[in-house]
């Protein structure tokens, strides 16, 4: 139940961070508790004896231009959202990544990217935001999964191909995973679910840093 309790805190942070203005008074406290120091460049700022925490949020309606919106990955920090174009992570240390997918639609994607890979157990803890918002202490709203339905259950992925890391997320969900990167370098990250523009879905956000791709610098 401790993990469920932790996810309830994450859920509270999601609400505080973006879904509701009613709880703005508690935003500072909640945000610091669950998303501390995920900012680029802050890879060594957290207590190194505990997991390094990185929180990403996918906003569904960022302004692509004056007439078009698109989904966009952001890094959540105690002081707000910052670009996901360049994400810093520590090498040789357990990383706990939370992906908050606030998007509302799913798109088919290649089956291999519906698998959870590169995480502890090759699994992710997945929270159904809709169900959990109605019954947050019901543990059945939090499931550990190793794969999703490639045809109808994936909204986006956070994928680092060179590291074998693939984390698929359904619309309106929160994922929590643990992984360790035992090398240093700069590695591209990419959403593998064609959520952009054009016939292929790969134009626009899918090929733009800070939207559906970017780089991860591991030091």
Footprint on this chain of Cu ion (rule: CB under 5 A): 156, 191, 193, 195, 212
In the bound complex, what is the minimum distance in angstroms from residue 70's beta carbon to Cu ion? 9
Of the pair 46, 86, the CB lying nearest Cu ion is at 86
Give CA–CA dist 55/69, Å, rounded: 22
Of the pair 73, 142, the CB lying nearest Cu ion is at 73
Handedness of CA 127, 130, 136, 141 (dihedral sign): negative
In the bound complex, what is the minimum distance in angstroms from residue 104's beta carbon to Cu ion? 13
Half-sphere exposure of 87 (CA within 13 A, CB side): 32
Of the pair 52, 73, the CB lying nearest Cu ion is at 73
Of the pair 160, 195, the CB lying nearest Cu ion is at 195
Of the pair 40, 71, the CB lying nearest Cu ion is at 71
Give CA–CA dist 193/150, Å, rounded: 9
Kindly compute the dihedral angle of the four CA atoms of residues 11, 12, 13, 17, in this order, to the nearest 10 degrees. Answer: 110
In the bound complex, what is the minimum distance in angstroms from residue 107's beta carbon to Cu ion? 8
**Contact, 94 vs 177, CB < 8 A?**
no
In the bound complex, what is the minimum distance in angstroms from residue 214's beta carbon to Cu ion? 12
- Residues comprising the chain, all counted: 219
In the bound complex, what is the minimum distance in angstroms from residue 115's beta carbon to Cu ion? 16
Query: DSSP E strands: which ranges in the chain?
Result: 52-63, 69-77, 80-83, 86-89, 94-101, 124-128, 142-145, 156-160, 165-169, 173-180, 185-190, 213-218
Of the pair 147, 193, the CB lying nearest Cu ion is at 193
In the bound complex, what is the minimum distance in angstroms from residue 158's beta carbon to Cu ion? 9
């Amino acid at each position: 139940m401790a993990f469920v309790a932790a996810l309830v805190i994450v859920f509270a942070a999601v609400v505080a961070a973006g879904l509701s203005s009613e709880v703005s008074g508690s935003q500072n406290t909640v945000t610091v508790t669950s998303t501390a120091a995920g900012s680029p460049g802050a890879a060594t700022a957290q207590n190194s004896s505990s997991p390094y925490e990185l929180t990403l949020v996918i906003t569904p309606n960022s302004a692509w231009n004056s007439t078009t919106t698109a989904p966009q990955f952001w890094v959540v920090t105690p002081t707000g959202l910052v670009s996901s174009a360049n994400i810093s992570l520590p090498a040789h240390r357990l990383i706990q990544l939370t992906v908050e997918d606030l998007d509302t639609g799913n798109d088919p994607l290649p089956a291999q990217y519906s698998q959870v890979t590169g995480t502890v157990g090759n699994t992710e803890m997945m929270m159904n935001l809709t169900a959990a918002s109605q019954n947050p202490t019901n543990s059945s709203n939090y499931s550990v999964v190793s794969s999703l339905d490639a045809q109808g259950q994936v909204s986006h992925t956070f994928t680092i191909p060179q590291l074998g890391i693939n984390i698929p997320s359904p619309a309106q969900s929160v994922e929590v995973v643990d992984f360790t990167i035992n090398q240093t370098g700069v590695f591209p990250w990419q959403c593998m679910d064609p959520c952009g523009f054009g016939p292929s879905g790969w134009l626009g956000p899918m090929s733009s840093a800070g939207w559906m791709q970017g780089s991860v610098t591991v030091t």
